[in-house]
Amino acid sequence: MAVMKLGIQPDYAGDFRQVVDEIVELESVGLDIAFVAEAYSFDAFGQLGYLAARTSTVQLGTGVVPIYTRTPSLLAMTAAGMDYVSGGRFVLGLGASGPQVIEGFHGVPYDAPLQRTREVVDICRAVWRREKLEYAGRKYTIPLPADRGTGLGKPLKLINQPVRERIPIMIAALGPKNVALAAEIAEAWEPVFFFPEHAHRVWGDALAEGKAKRDPALGELEVVVNVQVGIGDNVAELRDRARPHLALYLGGMGAKGKNFYNQLARTYGFEREAETVQDLYLAGRKKEAEAAIPDELIDGVCLVGPRSHVAERLAAFEAAGVTTINIMALEDTRAGRLASTVTLRELTRRPA
C-alpha cells in the first residue's frame, strides 16, 4: 500500500498571505496537497492561483467548490487554467454544499444535487478533451436550443490545449446516493468527520455500489479526510480545542432535521448527544454545545493525544481505506503546526 498522503486546508477567515508562507514551509517537510475551501468566503481559485506561484511540488485543490455557483463550462475552464498555471498539480474538488449557502448567499435554487453533479463532471471532462461541446442532460443542455434562446448558439470547444485531458476530480459526499456516485465517477471521495470503526457500516454498501459501475481508467478511489490534529500529552486540552469546529457543524449547519453532519453523528451511534448539541447551539448556548460533544466522538474523528495514540489512530484510518489525511491543525502557533506535520510525515512514511 502506498504511503498515506498529507494535506492541509486553511481556515476560511485567516490571513491567506501568511497561510501561503506556512504552506511553502510545509511543502519542504513533505506536505503533499493543499486545499482551499469556498463557502461564502473569498473565492478558492483566486487564492489557489497565488498559491501556485509560490509553490513548486505540492498539489493544489479546491476543497470544495459548490456545483451550483458556476456553469459547468466555467468550472471546466477555470480548472484547466489552474492546472496550467500550477504545471499539472491541480485537483478539482466539487460538492453540493447545502441550501443555507446556495439559496441563502447565492440566491440559486438547491435542486437535484445528484443529477447536477453527474452532469457537471461529464461536461468538465468533455471540455478538457477539447470536444465540441454538445450535451443534452436533464439539467444542462449545451448549446441552448433555439426554442430557449436566440438560435445562434453553436457547439464550441476549448481554445487552449489543457495540460491534462483528465484533471482529477474529488467529490465531497455524505449520503448513500452521493457516496455511490462519487465512487462511480470521481478519482477521489471526501467524506467528513470520518470515524474509521464505523465507516464500513455507514458507507460500505454505497461504496460497493458505486465501485461496481466504476470505469477502471479512473484507478482506485482515493479517500481524502479532513481531520483535526493535535499531538501532545494534554488530551483534555486538545479535545477542547477540537470542540468548537464539531459543535458548529453538528449544531449550526442547518435547521432541525436538515443538518447532514448532525445526522452523520446520529448514524455513528450518538443520537441523543447530537440532538443535545444541536438544541444548545441553535439556542445560542454555543459553549454548552461544545461541552456536550462526547469525548468518544472527538477521539474517533480526530487525531488528538500522544504520538503513540496518534500512530494507532492513523493505522485505523488507513485500514478503513483513507489515502489522504487533510490536517486541520489544533496548534495555535506556526511552529506547532509545522511540528505536527513533521510528526505525521514520520508516522505515515514506511521504510523502503
Answer yes or no: are the C-beta atoms of 181 and 118 closer than 8 Å: yes
Cα–Cα distances in Å, from 137 out to 40, 43, 337? 28, 28, 45
- For the chain, the structural domain boundaries read 5-229+307-348, 233-305
Instruction: Enumerate the H helices of 16-163 as residue ranges.
Output: 16-27, 44-54, 72-85, 99-102, 113-128
What pLDDT score was predicted for residue 65? 97
- Region 281-285: mean pLDDT is 97
pLDDT at 285 over 80: yes
pLDDT at 352 over 50: no
What pLDDT score was predicted for residue 2? 67
Answer yes or no: are the C-beta atoms of 65 and 95 closer than 8 Å: yes
- Region 133-152: mean pLDDT is 94
Closest CA to 246 of 284, 267, 273, 269: 273
Average pLDDT of the chain? 95
181-209 per-position pLDDT tens digit: 999 999 999 999 999 999 999 999 999 99
What pLDDT score was predicted for residue 350? 54
- Region 122-141: mean pLDDT is 97
- What are the residues facing 95 on neighbouring strands? 66
Amino acid symbol at 341: T
Identify the band that residue 264 occupies on the pLDDT scale cut at 50, 70 and 90.
very high
Work out the percent of the chain whose per-residue pLDDT is above 90: 88
Distance CA 45, CA 282 (A): 32
- Region 85-104: mean pLDDT is 94
216-260 per-position pLDDT tens digit: 999 999 999 999 999 999 999 999 999 999 999 999 988 888 898
What pLDDT score was predicted for residue 351? 43
31-77 per-position pLDDT tens digit: 999 999 998 989 999 999 999 999 999 999 999 999 999 999 999 99
- The domain made up of 5-229+307-348 has a fold known as TIM Barrel (3.20.20)
What pLDDT score was predicted for residue 317? 97
What pLDDT score was predicted for residue 332? 83
pLDDT at 83 over 80: yes
Instruction: Enumerate the H helices of 98-195 as residue ranges.
Output: 99-102, 113-128, 176-185
